[in-house]
């Protein structure tokens, strides 16, 4: 894999790339707290099949810069995906693989510009209508406590303590089989360890709950983020996800476009690409190649 410069929406980003540049484009988009390196198994397999993979470090995740205007709303993340498509697709339709915040960015990009994307794969955050049906239930609120904790300034004080023990425990709570010293956990911590990067990443959550942070020019895109994807979709969710309960997927087929599918991956948590890398990669490849 090679580290490259890419153009986002009103910002520059760093990204991992692999495969022939004239291959069909697959954009891999990570979530919180993570980096594209946790997808290296998938990226390697896709590149060997002749796909060109571009996997950005999301806004504020080192080595990507903090955006000049500070905008980290999900609509801006989706616009970054579109900008990457426009830069590297060679005029062909591309595929998005999005996890967590990356899944929401995939929904937004596909709804805003369905003509640009052939298929999407989303993982660990269901489409907005499915998410809404269970987000405010007591069991899910217990799992979502961290979001509300991030809204206050004490988060910047607590997260770095004891070598970012908080982030290590988040990974363990969300994917119980993962060792807290896993290399991908360490990569995630490294990407947000500087104070400015940490605040930027926490602002993802603060923007979710504060509409005054949203930009008027992204209103249409922001609406698209909350809707079910309009293109053919594969949705994957870990059976043991400690962040978003798998029960939120019970009626998921009602919220996916025709010919879409979803699967609950056994013995996997929120970071299913790390818990079950071979199964995750195989499901993605089977879907985009059919």
pLDDT at 180: 84
pLDDT at 181: 86
Number of H helices, E strands in the chain: 13, 8
pLDDT at 133: 84
Q: What are the distances in angstroms from CA 271 to CA 2, 38, 56, 113, 247?
A: 23, 9, 17, 28, 17
Tokens of 72: 């980290």
Phi then psi dihedrals of residue 237, to 5 deg:
-145, 140
The beta strand positions in the chain, using DSSP E, are 2-7, 12-18, 25-29, 52-56, 94-99, 117-123, 233-238, 261-265
- In the chain, the number of structural domains is 1
Q: What value, to the nearest 5°, has the Cα angle with vertex 96 and ends 37 and 190?
A: 20
Which three-class secondary structure state does DSSP give residue 129?
helix
Angle separating helix axes 183-192 and 195-208, nearest 10 degrees: 90
202 torsion bin: left (phi>0), alpha (psi -120 to 50), beta (else): alpha
Nearest CA-CA partner of 85 in 107, 64, 115: 115
Other CB atoms within 10 A of residue 35 CB: 26
pLDDT at 27: 98
Question: Residue ranges of the chain with pLDDT lower than 50?
Answer: none
Classify strands 12-18 and 52-56 as parallel, antiparallel or unpaired: antiparallel
Compute the distance between CA of residue 129 and CA of residue 253 in angstroms, rounded to an integer.
11
pTM beyond 0.85: the answer is yes
> What length does the chain have?
290
* CATH code at position 189: 3.40.50.1820
pLDDT at 136: 86
Element (H, E) at 178: none
Q: What are the distances in angstroms from CA 268 to CA 35, 87, 143, 175, 245?
A: 18, 34, 17, 7, 12
pLDDT at 135: 85
The parent domain of residue 116 ranges over: 2-289
Angle separating helix axes 74-88 and 101-112, nearest 10 degrees: 60
């Amino acid at each position: 894999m090679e580290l490259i410069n890419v153009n986002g929406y009103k910002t520059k980003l760093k990204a991992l790339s692999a495969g022939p540049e004239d291959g069909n484009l697959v954009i891999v988009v990570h979530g919180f707290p993570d980096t594209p390196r946790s997808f290296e198994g998938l990226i390697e397999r896709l590149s060997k099949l002749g796909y060109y993979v571009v996997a950005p470090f999301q806004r504020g995740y080192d080595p990507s810069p903090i955006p000049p205007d500070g905008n980290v709303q999900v609509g801006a993340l989706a616009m970054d995906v579109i900008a990457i498509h426009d830069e590297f697709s060679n005029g062909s339709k591309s595929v998005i693989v999005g996890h967590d915040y990356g899944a929401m960015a995939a929904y937004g990009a596909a709804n805003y510009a369905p003509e640009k994307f052939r298929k999407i794969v989303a993982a660990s955050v269901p489409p907005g209508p499915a998410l809404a049906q269970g987000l405010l239930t007591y069991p899910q609120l217990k799992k979502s406590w961290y979001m509300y904790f991030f809204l206050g300034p004490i988060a910047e004080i607590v997260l770095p303590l004891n070598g970012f023990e908080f982030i290590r425990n988040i990974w363990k709570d969300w994917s119980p089989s993962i060792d807290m010293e896993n290399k991908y956990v360490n990569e995630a911590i490294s990407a947000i360890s500087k104070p400015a990067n940490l605040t930027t990443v926490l602002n993802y959550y603060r923007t979710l709950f504060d509409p005054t942070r949203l930009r008027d020019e992204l209103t249409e895109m922001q609406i698209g983020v909350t809707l079910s994807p309009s293109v053919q979709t594969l949705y994957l969710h870990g059976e043991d996800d400690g962040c978003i309960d798998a029960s939120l997927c019970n009626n998921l087929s009602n919220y996916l476009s025709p010919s879409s599918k979803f699967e609950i991956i056994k013995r996997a948590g929120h970071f299913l690409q790390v818990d079950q890398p071979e199964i995750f990669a195989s499901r993605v490849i089977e879907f985009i190649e059919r």
